[in-house]
Amino acid sequence: IGQSLEERCNRILRDMEGSLTARDRVGIQDFVLLDAYTSESAVLDNLRKRFNENLIYTYIGTLLVSVNPYKELGIYTKKQMDIYMGVNFFELPPHIYALADNVYRTMLTETNNHFILISGESGAGKTEASKKILQFYAVSCPSTKLLDNVRDRLLLSNPVLEAFGNAKTLKNDNSSRFGKYMDIQFDHMGGAVGGHILSYLLEKSRVVHQNHGERSFHIFYQLVEGGEEDLLRWLGLERNCQRYSYLVQGECAKVSSVNDKSDWKTVRKALSVIEFSESNIESLFAIIASVLHLGNATFVADSQGYATLNNSPEIHWLSKLLGIPAQVIQVGLTHRKIEARSEEVLSPFTVDQAVYAKDALAKAIYGRTFTWLVNELNESLANKDSSRKTVIGLLDIYGFEVFSVNSFEQFCINYCNEKLQQLFIQLTLKSEQEEYEMEGIEWESVPYFNNKIICDLVEEKFKGIISVLDEECLRPGEATDMTFLEKLEEKMGGHPHFVTHKLADQKTRKTLERGDFRLLHYAGEVTYCVVATQFKSSLVGLTEILMSKEPWYVRCMKPNEGKQPGLFDDVLVRHQVKYLGLMEHLRVRRAGFAYRRRYEIFLQRYKPLCPDTWPNWKGTAAEGVECLIKHLGYKPDEYKMGRTKIFIRHPRTLFATEDAFEVCKHELATRIQAKYKGYRVKGDYMRQRQAATKIETCWRGMKARREREKRAWAVKVIKRFIKGFMTRNQPACVDNTEYLAFVRQNYLTRLKENLPKTVLDKNTWLTPPPIMQEASQMLRKLYTRHMVRRYVQGIMTERKAQLQIKGLTSSIFKGTKENYPHSVGIPFMDTRISKYSVPVVKYDRNGFRPRFRQLIYTGSAAYLVEEAKIKQRVDVKFFLSHTLSDNFLILHVQCEDIKQKGDLVLQCDYLFEALTKLCLVANKHNFIKVVQGSVKFDIQPGREGFVDFKSGQETMIYRAKNGHLMVVSMKLKTVWPLNSQNEQIHFLNY
């Protein structure tokens, strides 16, 4: 309800597309679409095909045929319920949920009452079908706390009624032994708000007698098998069904398919939910227990042949449970009270009469208890709201049955089924044809069997069987079964559907006892054994209730007598197809129209689909409907116009109209919403515009005031700034204080954004204003120290040692060596100065003969290597370095160990590193003297030597013509790149 066409289509396609296609290949879903619709064999074959594929539901128009599978199929889940909610009847495969949903939606849209008649033989699945319908409504109806409470009571009334009214028979392990009609009341929103139950003809004789293989009502076995120990002790019962006479006559106290203990718990829970008081529950079970005790009461004949009670314990429990004195019970069971005018006389019973009276009392107690139970359920389900309600009725009544011995109660049961068949004929077959004739629709009559003749045989005034029975019971003298039978033969001797032993032919007479009579029902012949106007009146009342509602039908069938899954008995099913009237119904549906409605109702519902009929039609309803269907494009063979109704032949035509109406409803709702929303939005817009105007006025005024205040403040600030600028060089005063503060702040801000990146950057520091001169100098020193500290903190130990050596080199060679600045950018390497070998040039004081080959120093000492490869430690007293080139130096060495002195000419690729390393080893940092040009040596007193230096194309040492030692150094061509600025900073610092 309320779904759009698109949503419905999407849901159907999503959930059922695959399965629907597969199911359509198995037989025909609707018998109306069957080609050979007049053939019983074709109908039977279609049922068999679908049954073999576990497709137990089939349609005949809107009538649902259900075949009991005798097994669980998994087609009653919550998901299945959701699939069938709000879907047209024929859109999905046949299902009990489809019928229940269609009844529910039709009730809501047309606001009228409906009933679902569930019929079929005993064991065909009628009770289960009614349960499934109730469960579907419990899920699909709106849910609130109150509605949920009503829903739970409706659902739980079923197990209570089944416990007290159902029993195992030869044909069904859970056979309804009473007729039940339940009204479910719905409010205008579709919520279940109440209910009412009517019961018919409880089979009370089952309390005292069961055929072989059958049981009494379930509640007796549930109480004995599942009752709590304290409860059984209080009731005087034992947990053994074999101890009670009324429970063992059928010799079938245990049934494999029935769990009495579990069912007992369900019943106890249901009674609590339905709000039975504890006192009422105790009284209810006390009465049930009293019936069992009464069944165990036995009689013996005294000396005069009269009955006396034989066992006093049962009388004790009867007295306790029923609240009646034991003496009263004893007298009541063994005597009959005769009233003669003003006197009462007690007449003693014989044993047979006492047993009959005991059984009659047990049946009466149970019957009245069942009636009280139904009344209590109705009180619990009653809806206190007096507003109008729509109703869906569920009729689950006993099926047609034939036993070897058929009692008077069975006669009433089958008579009830006969009446329901008559109702079905009236509401479907007969009324269908009569309606076509009344409406002036051309129609070819369909022949059908009318069972009115059989119903009249039973219920006709002064002539029917029930009238004869009443007359026989009221006449003077002793009435017996045979006198009643003779009366029937006298009244109905010539009736074609009534046969007795006396009236039958010789062949039939062999199958009848002298005390039997036979009726030829619509479902077959049944022979009854003679033994009710009240039951007839109840059926008339039920018929009137059903006639006031729209009918829907579920025909339940059983595929075999053995309750076996997968077994399809053609003879049995064919018999049910015949007596259930399926063939007649199929022929009428095939020849007739699927849908008919009064012009006023049809026009009122669908007039929005045509512009000429919406919103109001001025002419007659018939003219309006004709205009409407022409606009919708109905073809002539799809409909007929009657005197008061329109008749639509095919369901698809109605579905197309209904789908168009669903779309139209949403369009109308959208238009109404648009108009209303437009009206609302326009009003909101006008109010918002007025509010916006007021807000704008206030805001603009406030903004203008703020702007005026801001400009006044700006004028003051500008004036103070100008005065401050004019007096900036004067001492601080009121006029220039703010300006000078601005100048300081502005300078510091700009300085922050333009700080030097390195110490060597001499030009980046901003020129300060006069007022910031001193502060600027302090800040510059602080920042420089900050940069140095930051670099020092980040330098590694190895790098620091290198820079320290460079610092020593700087102190020795800076300003005295021409190529020193070019060497600054080359870092000292440990691999060159940690262990260094200096070659000795061929020159010494004794005439240039080499004495030492090499000068080797390590981190702690220096060694001279002689020709004999002997290492001598050199104790360097002082150094005299006379250098004019990059690769040579004159070194004066004194070796204490060998008591030798001399001047060495050393050749070295890394002069600054070697000399610095020797200073560090000898710890003679101040002994280095750098001489330019020529060096004079005092070799001996009165004898001098000279060493001259010059640059040339290659490095060499030789004795010049003037006798001087000439050292030639290759002219420096490579300009070493400066190292990073950070290294220069360190060098400068050291």
Over residues 828-869, the pLDDT tens digits come to: 776 665 544 555 544 444 443 444 445 554 444 555 544 434
Please compute the mean of the pLDDT values over residues 295-313 and round it to a whole number. Answer: 87
pLDDT given at position 904: 59
pLDDT digits (tens, 9 = 90+) for 314-371: 899 999 999 999 888 888 889 888 776 677 788 888 998 899 889 989 999 999 999 9
Fold of 599-704: Alpha-Beta Plaits (3.30.70)
pLDDT given at position 831: 64
pLDDT given at position 929: 73
Can you tell me the distance from the alpha carbon of 93 to that of 23, in angstroms, rounded to the nearest whole number? 7
Could you give the angle at the alpha carbon of 701 between the alpha carbons of 699 and 703, nearest 5°? 65
Collapse the DSSP code of 962 into the 3-class scheme (helix H, G, I; strand E, B; otherwise coil) and give the result.
coil
Taking every pair of Cα atoms in the chain, the longest distance, rounded to a whole number of angstroms, is: 194
Three-state DSSP string of 303-335: CCCCEEECCHHHHHHHHHHHCCCHHHHHHHHHE
**Which has the minimum average pLDDT: 434-448, 517-531, 742-756, 839-853?**
839-853
pLDDT class of 235 with cuts at 50, 70, 90: very high
Please compute the mean of the pLDDT values over residues 886-903 and round it to a whole number. Answer: 51
9-23, 61-75, 644-658, 663-677, range with greatest mean pLDDT: 61-75
**3-state helix, strand and coil shares in percent for the chain, rounded to the nearest 5:** 50, 15, 35
Task: Please indicate whether residue 762 or residue 247 has the higher confidence score (pLDDT).
Answer: 247
pLDDT given at position 405: 58
Task: Please indicate whether residue 386 or residue 526 has the higher confidence score (pLDDT).
Answer: 386
pLDDT class of 989 with cuts at 50, 70, 90: very low
Nearest residue to 336 via CA among 304, 315, 358: 358
Asked if 92 and 84 touch (Cβ cutoff 8 Å), the reply is yes
Asked if 394 and 176 touch (Cβ cutoff 8 Å), the reply is no
Confidence check: pLDDT of 949 > 70: yes
In sequence order, what are the beta bridge partners of 855?
838, 864
Asked if 648 and 639 touch (Cβ cutoff 8 Å), the reply is yes
Q: In the chain, where are the structural domains located?
A: 417-529, 599-704, 736-790, 809-969
pLDDT digits (tens, 9 = 90+) for 707-717: 999 999 999 98
Please compute the mean of the pLDDT values over residues 805-832 and round it to a whole number. Answer: 76
For 74, the token pair is: 């998994």
pLDDT class of 408 with cuts at 50, 70, 90: low
Could you give the angle at the alpha carbon of 489 between the alpha carbons of 484 and 492, nearest 5°? 115
- Tell whether 125 is in a known binding site: yes
Confidence check: pLDDT of 894 > 80: no
Can you tell me the distance from the alpha carbon of 515 to that of 336, in angstroms, rounded to the nearest whole number? 28
Please compute the mean of the pLDDT values over residues 974-984 and round it to a whole number. Answer: 40
Query: Count of alpha carbons within 13 Å of 62, Cβ hemisphere only?
Result: 21
Task: Please indicate whether residue 341 or residue 268 has the higher confidence score (pLDDT).
Answer: 268
Q: Does domain 417-529 have CATH number 1.20.58.530?
A: yes
Confidence check: pLDDT of 88 > 80: no
Task: Please indicate whether residue 184 or residue 903 has the higher confidence score (pLDDT).
Answer: 184
Please compute the mean of the pLDDT values over residues 641-661 and round it to a whole number. Answer: 78
Could you give the angle at the alpha carbon of 502 between the alpha carbons of 499 and 507, nearest 5°? 70
- Tell whether 122 is in a known binding site: yes
Three-state DSSP string of 502-555: CCCCHHHHCCCCCCEEEEEECCEEEEEECCCHHHHHHHHHHHHHHHCCEEEEEE
pLDDT given at position 851: 44
Confidence check: pLDDT of 581 > 60: yes
Asked if 50 and 129 touch (Cβ cutoff 8 Å), the reply is no
pLDDT given at position 261: 93
Q: Is beta strand 956-959 parallel, antiparallel or unpaired with respect to 943-952?
A: unpaired
pLDDT given at position 415: 67
Q: Which of 2.40.50.140, 2.30.29.30, 2.40.30.170, 3.90.1570.10 would CATH assign to domain 809-969?
A: 2.30.29.30
Q: Which residues in 558-674 belong to E strands, given as ranges?
A: 595-598, 639-641, 645-648
pLDDT digits (tens, 9 = 90+) for 69-84: 999 988 999 999 999 9
pLDDT given at position 549: 78
Asked if 153 and 161 touch (Cβ cutoff 8 Å), the reply is no
Please compute the mean of the pLDDT values over residues 204-221 and round it to a whole number. Answer: 92
Confidence check: pLDDT of 291 > 90: yes
pLDDT given at position 510: 57
Nearest residue to 453 via CA among 496, 494, 410: 496
Can you tell me the distance from the alpha carbon of 562 to that of 203, in angstroms, rounded to the nearest whole number? 24
pLDDT given at position 38: 79
For 940, the token pair is: 């001996």
Task: Please indicate whether residue 6 or residue 33 has the higher confidence score (pLDDT).
Answer: 33
In sequence order, what are the beta bridge partners of 217?
167
User: Which positions are annotated as active-site residues?
Assistant: 122-123, 127, 172, 175-176, 399, 401
258-272, 480-494, 845-859, range with greatest mean pLDDT: 258-272
Can you tell me the distance from the alpha carbon of 366 to that of 359, in angstroms, rounded to the nearest whole number? 11
- Tell whether 847 is in a known binding site: no
Could you give the angle at the alpha carbon of 185 between the alpha carbons of 179 and 190, nearest 5°? 135
pLDDT class of 55 with cuts at 50, 70, 90: very high
- Tell whether 343 is in a known binding site: no
- Tell whether 123 is in a known binding site: yes
Structure pTM? Answer: 0.56
pLDDT given at position 874: 46
Q: Supply the mean pLDDT for the chain.
A: 77
Can you tell me the distance from the alpha carbon of 650 to that of 664, in angstroms, rounded to the nearest whole number? 22
- DSSP result, 642-661: -SSEEEE--HHHHHHHHHHH
pLDDT given at position 703: 93
pLDDT digits (tens, 9 = 90+) for 525-560: 555 444 745 555 666 666 677 667 788 889 899 999
- Tell whether 439 is in a known binding site: no
**Which has the minimum average pLDDT: 239-248, 433-442, 651-660, 857-866?**
857-866
**Which H/E stretch holds residue 485?**
helix 481-492
pLDDT given at position 310: 80
